[in-house]
Amino acid sequence: MFSLIEPNLMNWDADRVAMIDLILLHLGVCEMLYFESIPLKVSINEYIDIAKSYSTPQSGQFVNGLLDNVRKQLSDQNKLTKTDYVKKK
């Protein structure tokens, strides 16, 4: 997962990024790749909210930007396989 995150750390030194942010980024990328029934927007928004609650004041924006860049990259490479969620009646 870090190989997807590290190139998107433009102008950021990985050693200076809060550990909780790196953990959230790993979880977010994992959720985007391997949980087919969870929409991408939901995944990203969940990790933004967690970062805002449990990390630094800037972490929400940081996690948002990074996960969105990874999402675009994975989408361009056709590596995202999401199924449409259909609400059962």
- Domain 2-76's class? mainly alpha
- Which tens digit of pLDDT belongs to each residue from 76-87? 999 988 876 666
Express as a percent the part of the chain with pLDDT over 70: 91
Q: pTM for the complete prediction?
A: 0.85
Domain-by-domain residue ranges, the chain? 2-76
Report the alpha-carbon angle 59-63-69, nearest 5: 150
Region 14-27: what's the mean pLDDT? 90
Calpha distance 62→19 (Å, rounded): 13
Nearest to 43 by CA among 73, 17, 63, 58: 63
